[in-house]
Amino acid sequence: MAPADIEDELVAAYAAIGRAVADFASTLMKLYDDLDPQVQQYAGDVLMPLLHVSQVKGNKLIDRAMSLIDHPAVLEALSEGRIDEGKALMIIDQVSVLDAANQAIAEPVLIAHAASHNYTASQRYARRYVLKLDAEAALRRYEEKRKQRLVEKFNLDDGMCSLRVVLPALDAALAFDRIDRIARALPKDD
């Protein structure tokens, strides 16, 4: 197989992942909509035996599917393979602070940009674009994300653990600097 053929096949296979994610979201929402309204709150439990996933995973799948279905233009771009799931969810997250009219303006612009740029460039562009549409959006996003601050400890193998901290950038920079200064002051141990 010629290298160009392999590249075309790879691009097509990657686009198929987006179509599969979009199809899964649509199918999952059909199942969700068919559930009795009193059972919908337990939809994660319904998915557990069907997909062999945990309740947490089931709930995450439902939340992701709802987000995609609520943004038809993003879902369509994902289904057509113009953007991948990561970019689709990033666009939805970025426009979430906008009102419906500004979301309708922003989504096609952000999809077009994301279709031809990498994730980081698309995210940066999306932040700037949303800020131009609604200057108060940055403040609302900051306050929303600030409420999600957390510190988590994950036990690892061999007596080690991982510490994850999510906090405002300035606080994180100050904390890192403090930890770094303490570590540099300790005796060297290779």
Specify which residues 161 forms β-bridges with.
155
Question: What are the domain boundaries of the chain?
Answer: 3-146, 150-185
Q: Residue 99: phi, psi to the nearest 5?
A: -75, 170
DSSP letter (8 states) at residue 97: T
Specify which residues 154 forms β-bridges with.
162
pLDDT band at 142 (very low <50, low <70, confident <90, very high): confident
Q: Which of 1-5, 17-21, 145-149 has the lowest mean pLDDT?
A: 1-5
Distance between CA atoms of residues 67 and 166, nearest Å: 23
Q: Residue 103: phi, psi to the nearest 5?
A: -60, -45
State the average pLDDT over residues 19-40: 94
Neighbours of 106 (CB within 10 A): 22
Q: Which of 139, 21, 142, 34 has the alpha carbon at shortest distance from 82?
A: 21
